[in-house]
Structure 1
Amino acid sequence: MKHFTVFLALLVAFGLFAADLKENEGTAIFKLKPEFRSALQKSDNRTGIVSIDEKLQKLQVSSLSPKFSISPQKREECELSLIFTVQSPYPPQAVVNLLSSDPCVQYAEIVYPDVIFAVPNDEHYSESRYFASLEAESAWDIHKGENGTQPVIIALVDTGCRWTHPDLAENIWQNLGEDINHNGYTIYYNGSTWVMDTGDLNGIDDDGNGKIDDLIGWDFMATSNGGETNNPYENSGHGTNVSGILSARTNNTIGVSSLAWNLTLMPVSCSYPGSSSIYNGYQGIIYAAENGADIINCSWGGTTYSQANQEAINYAYSLGSIIVAAAGNSNNTVPVYPSAYQNVLAVAALQNNGVKSSVSCYGAFVDVGAPTGSIGTLSGSGYTTVSNATSYASPVGSSLAGLIKSYYPEISQSALLNRIKGSCDDVDAVNPGKENLLGEGKLNARRALQEDNPRSDEEIRLALIENRGATDANGNLAVEPGETFSVNLLLRSYGEYSTYGTFTLSTTNPNVNILSGRHNQSIPADAYFTLEEVFNIYVLPTATSQYVTFNLQTTADLPVVAGNNLSFSILINAGGIFVWEGISGGRDMSGTFIKNTLQNLGYNCVYGTTFPASFYSFDAVFLSFGAVGSNIVRFDKPYMFNALYNYLISGGRVYIEGVDVVGFDLTYYLPDIQGELDAYEVLWPLLGIISAEDGVTNPIDNLSGVSYTPSSGMLFTSSSQTKVDYIDRFTELYPYARSAFEESDYGCVAVACAGGYNQRSFVFSYALSELTDGTFPNTRANLVTRIMDFFTAEEVTLPVELTSFYATYSNGGNIYWNTASENNVLGYNLYRNSNFSLSNAVKLNAVIIPATGCATGNNYCYYDSETALPDTLYYWLESVSYSGFTQIFGPAVLIVPFTEPETPPLPPDKIEYLSAYPNP
């Protein structure tokens, strides 16, 4: 098959419709490789490194700043100082896509805000029934935190706290490095409330930690627009609830108690008033660690892994801090960060009897569980009781860690963590089905202080973090029948023990044979590791397109108590139709409906929610991306672009629907994806689109199918689509494409294209499945049928009105045809034979001769240089377009006269034929 490229100059001529960028949570960051530190000359939002600065200029970067604020004393040797935050009008994913390709960049990623996981003789002590489950009173008989020989600091990294609360203020950390008047305190009680010592507020960073007048802590998110202050105060909220569990003033005749019994509390705010999100939590962790926090509590998290945030955790741990985090409140096994990072103690929520809380997450990443039934704590200026959420489990774990540190002041971090884990009460018996998925069990304070050298169980817990796809023999990223491939897996080992493991791959699917299915290698402690190209699998030649499920069984020198059987799937590309939607059965997505409709029509369909690396060999592909404000998956990754691009230029058939996918995503998410070309500059011509506008809100009221397209004569007057904002509008690329649907008073919202690579596509701004069926032919199922007819038709032609069609001879054959109208004509093919039969005629043009697409018609001439011998030749003309219609004209008869051989003249310009395509 010969390929050609549509001129991209057309896009320049028509321009690009501007689209307002939508709100996008998350922030783009990148890390400079350490070897380029000496080249770093940061100024005016540039790095001084040419390759990076060119990309920053392309992205119109408005701000380039350090991701983390590192103490000046540690900045030079700390790699965290090489991580930068980027602000750009482009979406964060676009920034990441472009910067990831730079050789000086170690990694680029998006970081997202985290969410909070809320759900003694003291006055309310009797209400705190969780103390009994912890055996707290027996622990206090052994040791109380206030009796320690060295101070222990517990940091609250949260929404701030009401540090003036009478049941908290005396335990608040006072940064004596900022005590400039040397009176021994930085806050005091003035007779009515607790206040900062104004004698210490001099506007100078006296202790040199990079923060001015941080007398008791720091606020990293003063308002919704950012900003920092020295006052981590909140009137009432999540952080105040957590602070009371961490270190409420104990045995003071009022309020509530804390397991730690009067250890010091360092408040760090990473949220603004009224918000339930944590915006600078990892910066808060760094601040706490740099300023001496022994224990750092994080009652918040998210499900997105970040290399930068893992580095922040590692840095804090290297300074001696123990980081304790909530396991999350989603009642599933999805890892939550920071609790699932290395060097973090992950705490699940249990009822006081050890049964898992109904909301708590569980899984291989969980280290311990904390009883959380009826916890008395602070709320505003008063008190409240909270229960059964991991936000409150985490501070129970932190408070116990602080108590242990106070009793064993010289204990190492690993020994302290082992003591916490090894002293837990087993809860597997009361959690059937979740055995070994709640870590070591329920915390026990008495055992943690009393037992001699308790250690966590010597066992292994594993999780499959990512199926990185297959390595195939021919490198086209598709696993095909008759091919041998290997798999690539990223796994995580949780816990502090390493071991040697045996990994065995199996499947019950008869379409594959596992050639080498056993592999031995070490399993590291508390770390990620890979299994790359160690298993070889052969696909039978008779295999059909499908997902093949494999099972990975792990045995080791130590017991593998979680994750010993893990499963994953690999796609076999063997023809048929592939249907993808971002979320299975999601509203405003059509994949499930399209799959069911095609199967009812007798087509072999493979359905998936994972976007594959290749569509190779599929007869047609249907992609459903969703709608902004509803269910939506972005077309925002380079591998997605590569899969679609390679399929289209191989003559693929593609249906694409989605509110934003063409008009917004291709415009903004993938800059410089091919050299200096953005994704829209490459894919729009292949989809028959010259420009796309990221439109406005437009519910369907009169969606009319355009004549001579697959949707011809169809009409839909309503839709159940839940979100119809930013509906894309298109300008089709003549002569290769036509508007397929027009929405009244809005414009073109669908484009059908039959392109020069023999590709065909149908792009639609709405969700097909949400259209409201009318009477036939105005039904969704009929639209799917017509699209498939368009995709599968051998030739895609439309009627055309000819005024003449004839051939003459002048140093070769000259074939002429004149049209009266060709509004809906894609182009023409010419056929020649030496007899009157069309059936075995030879097609002359290697690629289609494009029509001008004008209502007034046009005149055409084609030069046939292969007519030097005397003969009678017959020519037929075929008009080509977008649906299943066929129209043949002719034959035109040419009598070739006998002449002496001579060199034929150069072919004339064939109606811009050579200017539109490479010469075949």
Structure 2
Amino acid sequence: MKKLLIASCAAAVMAFGAINSAAISNAATDSSQVAGQIIVKFRDEGAAAGVLRQNGLSEGTGIGSTGAHLVKVPAGKKRQLIEGLSRNPAVEYAEPDELVTATTADQYFPRQYALQNNGQSFTNTANTLTVAAGKADADVDAVEAWNVTTGSGIRVAVLDSGVATDNPDINPKVVLRANFSSATTSEDNYGHGTHVAGIVAATSNNTVGVAGVCPGCTILAGKVLNDSGVGSSSGLAKGIDWAVSNGAKVINMSIGVQASRTLETAVNKAWSKGVVLVAAAGNGANQTKIYPGAYPNVIAVAATDNNDAKASFSTYGASWVDIAAPGVNVYSTFPNHPFVLGTQNGRSFGYDVGNGTSMSSPIVAATAALAWASHPGATNTSIRAVVESTADPISGTGTYWAHGRVNADKAVR
């Protein structure tokens, strides 16, 4: 079975492109613990205030009916204080306040290294492709971000080939559809848009399929590519205006076209209305600019693999490519009816891997949506800044892309 690689073309608007629990954490590291506080339980409650005062601490609040106290501690002193208090005969125990991490019961979540990379290897749906083990934590920390927000109430416009109405993991997340292509309906018969939309907002924890990076988000499905995966700059411009008019906070465009003044005007108007725009950088394995990604008011996204290395096919160039995200063997939704990409590649229906900056772009778009949800009063300028500034500075940063590989957890903090 061949892997799906969403190819780029500049002649017209075209596409680029057992249940697992959540994060495995290391209890010995502060990264898995709530900063600035510990839990202490005393054998003798009467001694609590004195013991804590001896250690320069104030008596903390009670934790339900457990009898334990939540105690604030100075930065950098957590481990020392836990060890010291544990030796005190008046103390029953002292322990860190561990982070509780969200879980998901989605069938293919173990294959979604982009969201949570434990160094796992996995196969595709048809078990004809084996993806070699990657590097642990070469992911966007989506699961950790869900402890802060899942993006409820944020609308993301996916301007693409439509979203399949027969995939129950993503169809219910679509709140509005429109067709700006030459196709007769808004149905996704190409397959690309359904895959992209699933990366953004597939329903999480429903025991089937996959989880989106922003599982609380909803989707505006703007069909700008026809059933052959081809569209026009005018259709894309119309789609951008439609998305803005219907409340999109983020617009994802996993597509590419040559520069167009009309398209740039639509992009700039959307930006002036407070929308964050994200687009694929392309799959040319070179530094050639592709639009709309290369417009200044759009976040251009390159692709990485499960080792945090630049994907061999990814377009690059820190002068205009802003950020990177996983784009190799990314698991997501597909239509449950015959579709062009599936027919061409002998693909199983419903779910499978995709390859391309088309897959990277929606990860960044979904991260921006999560950031919108966690930063009340933010502007598109501040959301873009936080997404870019909190990216992990992996190898290639400053050369292949201006910022690092996107990190959803840092973006929502």
Q: 2:162 aligns with which of 157, 160, 166?
A: 160
Could you tell me how far 1:155 is from its partner in structure 2? 0.4
1:831 alignment partner in structure 2: none
1:827-877 deviation per Cα after TM superposition (whole angstroms, max 9, x unaligned): xxxxxxxxxxxxxxxxxxxxxxxxxxxxxxxxxxxxxxxxxxxxxxxxxxx
Q: Does structure 1 residue 442 correspond to structure 2 residue 411?
A: no
| Partner residue in 1 for 2:388 | 421
C-alpha contact 1:246 1:395 (8 A) present in aligned 2: yes
Aligned to 1:386, what secondary structure does the other structure show? strand
Aligned to 1:735: none
Query: Of 221, 229, 241, which aligns to 1:276?
Result: 229
Deviations 1:700-719 (A, max 9, x none): xxxxxxxxxxxxxxxxxxxx
Residue 142 of structure 1 corresponds to which residue in structure 2?
148
CA drift at 1:253? 1.5
Following the alignment from structure 2 to structure 1, what is the Cα–Cα distance between the partners of residues 256 and 328? 22
Which structure has more helix as a fraction of its residues? 2
Give matches, 1:463-612, under 5 Å.
Answer: none
Gaps of 5+ in 1: 1-110, 174-215, 224-228, 451-920
Offset, 1:438: 1.3
The secondary structure found in structure 2 opposite 1:142 is coil
1:351, 1:388 within 8 Å by CA — same for their partners in 2?
A: no
Q: Which of 297, 302, 327 matches 1:372?
A: 327
1:339/1:134 CA distance change after superposition, 3 Å:
same
Residue in structure 1 matched with residue 112 of structure 2 by the alignment:
128
Residues 44-123 of structure 1 aligned to structure 2 (within 5 Å) = 113-118=12-17, 120-123=104-107
Matched, 1:362 2:362: no
Separation in structure 1 between the aligned mates of residue 247 and residue 201 of structure 2, nearest angstrom? 17
Task: Identify, as 1 or 2, the structure richer in strand.
Answer: 1
Matched AA of 1:356: K
Q: Which residue of the partner structure matches residue 294 of structure 2?
A: 340
Amino acid at match of 2:12: P
Alpha-carbon distance, 1:387 to partner = 4.4
What's 1:402 paired with?
369
SS in 2 for 1:399: helix
Matches within 5 A, 1:842-881: none
What CA distance in whole angstroms lies between the structure 2 residues aligned with 1:164 and 1:423? 36
**Alpha-carbon deviation of 1:217?**
2.1
Contact 2:210 2:333 in 1 (8 A): yes
- Assess if the C-alpha contact under 8 Å between 2:190 and 2:229 holds in 1: no
- Distance in 2 of aligned mates of 1:172 and 1:309: 25
What root-mean-square deviation, in Å, do the aligned CA atoms of Structure 1 and Structure 2 show?
1.9
Give the aligned residue type for 1:234. D
Query: Which residue identity is paired with 2:306?
Result: N
Find the partner of 2:265 among 311, 316, 333.
311
Q: How far is 1:314 from its partner?
A: 0.6
1:359·1:388 contact (CA, 8 Å) conserved in 2?
A: no
Q: CA deviation at 1:410?
A: 1.9
How many equivalent pairs are there?
A: 282
SS at match of 2:207: coil
Residue 131 of structure 1 aligns to a residue whose secondary structure is coil
The one-character-per-residue Cα deviations of 1:238-271 (angstroms, maximum 9, x if unpaired) are 1111111111111111111001012110101012
- Asked if the contact 1:130/1:374 (under 8 Å) is kept, the reply is no
Name 1:301's counterpart in structure 2. Answer: 256
Gaps of 5+ in 2: 1-9, 18-103, 117-138, 337-348
CA contact under 8 A between 1:400 and 1:445: conserved in structure 2?
yes
SS at 2:147 equivalent: helix
Secondary structure of the corresponding residue to residue 324 of structure 2: strand
Distance 1:219 1:409 in 2: 32
1:507-563 deviation digits (Å, cap 9, x = unpaired): xxxxxxxxxxxxxxxxxxxxxxxxxxxxxxxxxxxxxxxxxxxxxxxxxxxxxxxxx
1:112 shift after superposition: 5.3
Match of 1:252 among 191, 206, 209: 206
- Tell me, yes or no, if structure 1 residue 386 matches structure 2 residue 353: yes
Alpha-carbon distance, 1:446 to partner: 1.2
Instruction: Spell out the pairing of 1:719-758 with structure 2 (5 A cutoff).
Output: none
Q: Secondary structure at the match of 1:217?
A: strand
1:161 touches 1:236 (CA, 8 Å); kept in 2?
no
Structure 1 distance, partners of 2:164, 2:376, is 29
2 CA distance for matches of 1:356 and 1:154? 26
| 1:285 maps to which of 236, 240, 250 | 240
1:863-902 superposed matches below 5 A: none
Aligned to 1:218: 178
8 Å contact kept, 1:376–1:383 = no
Identity of aligned residues (%): 31
Post-superposition offset of 1:136? 1.6
Aligned residue in 2 for 1:734: none
CA distance in 1: counterparts of 2:187 and 2:225, whole angstroms: 10
**Counterpart residue type for residue 198 of structure 2:** G
Corresponding residue SS for 1:154: strand
Q: Confirm or deny: 8 A CA contact 2:236 2:263 kept in the other structure.
A: no
Give 1:218 shift: 0.7
Q: Which amino acid aligns with 1:157?
A: L
Distance between the aligned counterparts of 1:442 and 1:415, measured in 2?
18
| Aligned 8 A contact 2:106 2:210 in 1 | yes
1:321 aligns with 2:275: yes
Q: Which amino acid aligns with 1:447?
A: K
Determine if contact 1:242/1:377 at 8 Å carries over to the other structure: yes
Q: Deviations over 1:783-823 (max 9, x none)?
A: xxxxxxxxxxxxxxxxxxxxxxxxxxxxxxxxxxxxxxxxx
Structure 2: distance between partners of 1:327 and 1:240: 19
Q: Offset at 1:276?
A: 2.1
Specify the alignment match of 1:263 in structure 2. 217
1:290/1:319 contact within 8 Å kept: no
Compute the displacement of 1:372 (Å).
Answer: 2.6
1:316 counterpart SS class: helix
Helix, strand or coil for the counterpart of 1:115? strand
**Which of 1 and 2 has greater Rg?**
1
Residue 144 of structure 1 aligns to which amino acid in structure 2? T
Q: What does the per-residue CA deviation read over 1:651-676, in whole Å, with 9 as the maximum and x for residues that have no partner?
A: xxxxxxxxxxxxxxxxxxxxxxxxxx
Equivalent residues in 2 for 1:766-805 (5 A)? none
TM-superposed CA distance for 1:375, in Å, is 2.0
Inter-partner Cα distance in structure 2 for 1:392 and 1:117: 8
Partner Cα separation in structure 2 for residue 128 and residue 171 of structure 1: 20
**Within 5 A, what are the aligned runs for 1:11-30?**
none
Measure, in 2, the Cα distance between the counterparts of 1:251 and 1:318.
36
In structure 2, how many angstroms separate the alpha carbons of the residues matched to 1:222 and 1:334? 28
2:146 partner amino acid: W
2:365 is paired with a residue whose SS is helix
Instruction: Confirm or deny that 1:411 pairs with 2:411.
Output: no
Cα distance, 1:286 vs structure 2: 1.3
- The 1:316/1:112 distance shift into structure 2, 3 A limit, reads farther
Match of 1:63 in 2: none
| Distance in 1 of aligned mates of 2:205 and 2:328 | 21
- Calculate the TM-score normalised by the size of structure 2: 0.65
Task: Supply the distance in 2 between the matched residues of 1:137 and 1:241 (Cα, whole angstroms).
Answer: 20
